[in-house]
Amino acid sequence: MESELKTDTGKTLTTRSCWSCKIEMGDLFFCPSCKALQAYAEKTDYFRCFGLERHLQMDPEKLEETFHDLSRKFHPDFYQRKSQEEQQISLENAAILNKAYRILKDPMKRAAYLIGLAEGGQEIPAEAPADLFEEIFALQEGLEEVKALTPEKSDLKLTLFTNLKNTMEKLQSRQKEALREIEAFFPQWDMLVPPEKDQSFTTQQMDCLQKMKKILSQQAYLERMIKNIRSAIGGR
Amino acid sequence: MSKVVGIDLGTTNSLVAYMEDGQPQVIPGLSGTSAVPSIVSFDPDGSPDQVVVGEAAKKHLISGSDRTIYSVKRLMGKGIEEVQADLKYLPFQLSGKAQEIIRVHVGEKHYTPPEISAIILSELKQRAEAHLKAPVEQAVITVPAYFNDSQRQATKDAGKIAGLEVLRIVNEPTAASLAYGLQKKKEGRIVVYDLGGGTFDVSILKIRKGIFEVLATNGDTHLGGDDIDQCLMLFLLREIQQQHGRNLMDHPEALQELRLLSEKVKRQLSSEDSAAISLTLAEQKIDYHREITREEFEGLIHNLVERTLTPCRQALEDANLKPEEIDEVILVGGSTRIPLIKNKVSDLFKQTPHSELNPDDVVALGAAIQADILAGSITDMLLLDVTPLSLGMETMGGVVNRFIPRNTTIPTSAKEAFTTFEDGQQSVSIHVVQGERELVKDCRSLAQFNLCGIDPLPAGMPRIEVIFLIDANGILNVSAKDLRSGKAQSIEVKPTYGLSDEETEKMISSSIEHAREDMEERMLIESRNEADTVLRHAAKGLRHGTTLLDPAERKLIEQSMSDLKKAIEGSDHSLIREKLSSLDGATQKLAELLMDQSVQVALKDKKLSDS
């Protein structure tokens, strides 16, 4: 029954041969002849791991369902009594699948990953949002003061901590805003994805990605600031 | 086919379970109790031949406190510098260099924690074999979810030393959720709060159509019932010092007695409002009595209980969930019987936690279910667990470059590219750490990986891709590839805390040797016992049937009896067996005659039960 599965994209893109019985087969998870599990083709992107186009709008529940279905196909638990080779493939496929799910289920990470695909995988640099300069300046000062705290000034500590917590909440609500902003671009991007093409990106697409990238840069900055505050006021 | 068993290797108690007709069962011991106390007691000289385990070892906790090892799980995969706080309360001696495996001293010998755990595992293995009447060679062993790589590896090593192939290391709270899921058949988001003898874990899972997906996990591998006992013990210690002016800290035996007393009182206070404490130590001239209320006790342990709530909040945050979004809370581990803990957990998650499954058994039952999944018998359940701690490596300035964040579903992997900094450089060293902090010094060192045998080339030319893979056991595997040649790059691994492969191998072979010695010993004892019984019956038969035999027959029996008696005095069990069977032959006619006469059925009974 497993040999009836569609390819991971739902279409046959390449032909390859089964590692075990060497017969020619499509881009399938299981060899139609010997039933051996096949490794994800090299450079399969995370979207394709899930059998998806490079769309940014996703239904979280459907994504979860696919994740669970694919886990049932790949998880090493089910290959314990199979050959060494198949165990290794199951391990590698499951690892790729888990990484893909981690990225795709988070809208911010999903967009960042797509930008990485377009630009060759560099990290998105953090950039301070221009309208927050004052708050950020005050925050830096606050963090310095916490560092300089001595045990005698415990009353000062309380005020400082309260201030930092307030700033953190402000930054967190700003993060939520950034999420809404970036999600607003998703339908626009999805319109630009040609149904059949995959590798190259058009100028229009690159333009759309650049806009999202700016939001992500600011998001990365906010993330760093929140982390700094967390480590200053204790807790992980 | 040999059975795969599930083992809960606990700080205080250990259990073994297996699947029978689709239901997990804990295997009881001969006395009927299912838990084996995780205690190992050696002979005064520390030799491994006379070791006793479980209830038998428990008896030596006070009288042989320096050679009776308990709570060894707290030492697994750790360095001596990490257990400093415990050292002064432990009646046995430990040694070890910083960042190296701990050695437990017993008499002249010393043992590593995996070797001691292996002794407990062997006991469970034997128990299972006796019950299942079949060899047991494969097992699933549980560990606290918050165990790091070294602690998991140490557990796996212990299994190997005990002669078990460890098919999987499973997290305790997730194992519990499997047992819970199999029984309740419910779906939704559940929290498992697991406070055991020495460790605390919290895991948040989503159960959907047979998939048990862990969303987040957190914990403290050094927080459990032991700490609660210690807390009460220290309080009593101080009070005794105030009243009697004597510090019992330097008296290991008295300290051990006080610890056991504290444990008893703690248990009592879970069901009663107050408990009487009395301690009489003639040697120290101490006669101490007091009554303690549950309220007083709760005041003492309040901070410890609070310490379990921080990981719970962190796990909720990591799972991106609010307490109201949790459908059920399950309590696991003996310490969750403490009413204060139940109250605090129910306050935090805004609901009454479930504890209808026996909190002592549920982890072992879950391990048995996982064993059945791996054996291929259960196909509709699947556990998707996570790695509890972030994984990274040391970069310039002692900063951590994190490449696998905590709560990532396992198996997972990360690729990093490496090159050389000097012309002709032939090796590159990678220091891998686990933890959430930014600096290497605040994280836990896992191992040093040495990429060696790199072709001597100008600096920056070699391109080596290293793959860090965390398998379904939560254990790190590292492989590397030279991207230019496509060949596998060789790696030397130096684990920071733990045993090298050669050391483990050596322990396995010596444990097999011991197993052989143990077997010889057991066969000798058994043959002697049997000889005793047969001799008794033969003597009885001779008395009753003396007139039925002619003198020659009588002589032969007497000769055989004296031969067997001589053989018993020696230590050759095969000689005993041989003499046993000649006596059997010699008494055959007598037995028949006696039977015919129906005078005495003693011999016949013996014969029947023998065959």
What distance in Å separates the CA atoms of residue B274 and residue B42, rounded to the nearest whole number?
A: 37
- Name, in order, each residue with C-beta under 8 angstroms of B1's C-beta and a sequence gap of 6 or more: none
Q: Does residue B172 carry a catalytic annotation?
A: yes
Residue of B211, B385, B415, B443 to mutate for A, most A C-beta atoms under 10 A = B211
Half-sphere exposure of B55 (CA within 13 A, CB side): 9
Looking at residue B260, its amino acid is L
Is A94 close to B411, i.e. CB distance below 8 A? yes
Domain ranges of chain A: 2-105, 130-233
- State the pLDDT confidence band at A235, using cuts at 50, 70 and 90: very low
Is B374 close to A72, i.e. CB distance below 8 A? no
Asked if A64 has any chain B CB less than 8 Å from its own CB, the reply is: yes
The answer to whether the Cα torsion of B330, B334, B338, B341 is positive or negative is negative
Pick the CATH number of A2-105 from 1.10.10.10, 3.40.50.300, 1.10.287.110, 3.10.450.230: 1.10.287.110
Asked if A106 has any chain B CB less than 8 Å from its own CB, the reply is: no
Residue that has been written with the tokens 């359940």 in this structure: B381
Say yes or no to pLDDT of A11 above 50: no
The mean of the pLDDT values for chain A is 82
Among residues B3, B8, B160, B385, which one is catalytic? B8
- State the pLDDT confidence band at A197, using cuts at 50, 70 and 90: low
Q: What is the mean pLDDT of residues A79-83?
A: 89
Supply the pLDDT for residue B355: 80
This prediction has a pTM of 0.81
**Pick from A68, A72, A95: which is nearest to B411 by CB?**
A95
Contacts 24+ apart (CB under 8 A), B185-190: B186/B327, B186/B328, B188/B327, B188/B328, B189/B215, B189/B321, B189/B325, B189/B326, B189/B327, B189/B328, B190/B326, B190/B327, B190/B328, B190/B329, B190/B330
> What is the nearest CA distance from B375 to chain A, expressed in angstroms?
7
Q: Does residue B342 carry a catalytic annotation?
A: no
pLDDT tens digits, residue range B420-448? 888 988 888 899 998 888 888 888 888 88
> What is the nearest CA distance from B411 to chain A, expressed in angstroms?
5
Looking at residue B152, its amino acid is R
Residue of B374, B390, B407, B438 to mutate for A, most A C-beta atoms under 10 A = B374
Residue of A nearest to B404 (CA): A99
Contacts 24+ apart (CB under 8 A), B394-401: B394/B430, B394/B431, B394/B433, B394/B440, B398/B439, B398/B440, B398/B441, B399/B438, B399/B439, B399/B440, B400/B433, B400/B435, B400/B437, B400/B438, B400/B439, B400/B440, B400/B443
Residue of A nearest to B138 (CA): A80
Chain centroid offset of residue B51 CA: 16
Nearest-10 crossing angle of helices B294-318, B339-349? 30
**Alpha-carbon separation of residue A127 from A172, B98, B503, B536 (angstroms):** 16, 42, 51, 93
Supply the pLDDT for residue A199: 61
Supply the pLDDT for residue B9: 96
Supply the pLDDT for residue A12: 43
Which tokens go with A25? 């087969």
End-to-end CA distance of chain A: 48
Query: Residue A109's closest CA among B466, B405, B207?
Result: B405
Residue that has been written with the tokens 């605390």 in this structure: B200
Question: Cis omega (within 30 of 0) on the bond before B411?
Answer: yes
What distance in Å separates the CA atoms of residue B94 and residue B87, rounded to the nearest whole number?
A: 8
Say yes or no to pLDDT of A9 above 50: no
**Alpha-carbon separation of residue A91 from A36, A76, A202, B231 (angstroms):** 14, 6, 36, 44
CB atoms under 10 Å from CB of B301, counted, come to 21
Supply the pLDDT for residue A10: 46
> What is the nearest CA distance from A26 to chain B, expressed in angstroms?
26
- In the beta sheet, which residues pair with residue A30? A37
Looking at per-residue pLDDT, the higher value among A149 and B274 belongs to B274
- State the pLDDT confidence band at A2, using cuts at 50, 70 and 90: very low
DSSP H helical segments within B245-361, as ranges? 252-271, 294-318, 339-349
Among residues B66, B82, B115, B194, which one is catalytic? B194
pLDDT tens digits, residue range A15-34? 678 888 888 887 788 888 88
DSSP line for B6-75: EEEE-SSEEEEEEEETTEEEEPP-TTS---EESEEE--TT--GGG-EETHHHHTHHHHTTTSEEE-GGGG
Contact yes or no for B152/B169 (Cβ under 8 A): yes
Q: Does residue B263 carry a catalytic annotation?
A: no
Q: Does residue B572 carry a catalytic annotation?
A: no
Which tokens go with B349? 């998650």
Q: What is the mean pLDDT of residues A216-224?
A: 88
**Kind and range of the H or E element at B593?**
helix B573-597
Q: In this predicted complex, what is the ipTM? A: 0.85
Q: What is the mean pLDDT of residues A109-128?
A: 84
Radius of gyration of chain B (CA): 29
Supply the pLDDT for residue A133: 78
pLDDT tens digits, residue range B373-426? 999 888 899 999 999 989 999 988 888 888 999 999 999 999 988 888 889 888
**Alpha-carbon separation of residue B469 from B99, B374, B480 (angstroms):** 23, 20, 11
Q: Which of A6-20, A90-104, B585-599 has the highest mean pLDDT?
A: A90-104
Where chain B has pLDDT below 70, the residues are 1-2, 499, 507-522, 598-611
Query: Residue A216's closest CA among A127, A116, A100?
Result: A127
Residue of B nearest to A89 (CA): B411
Contact yes or no for B217/B146 (Cβ under 8 A): yes
Looking at per-residue pLDDT, the higher value among A5 and A14 belongs to A14
What distance in Å separates the CA atoms of residue A94 and residue A73, rounded to the nearest whole number?
A: 9
Supply the pLDDT for residue B519: 61
Binding-face residues of A in 71-90 toward B, CB within 8 A: 71-72, 75-78, 80-81
Is B412 close to A99, i.e. CB distance below 8 A? yes
Supply the pLDDT for residue B186: 82
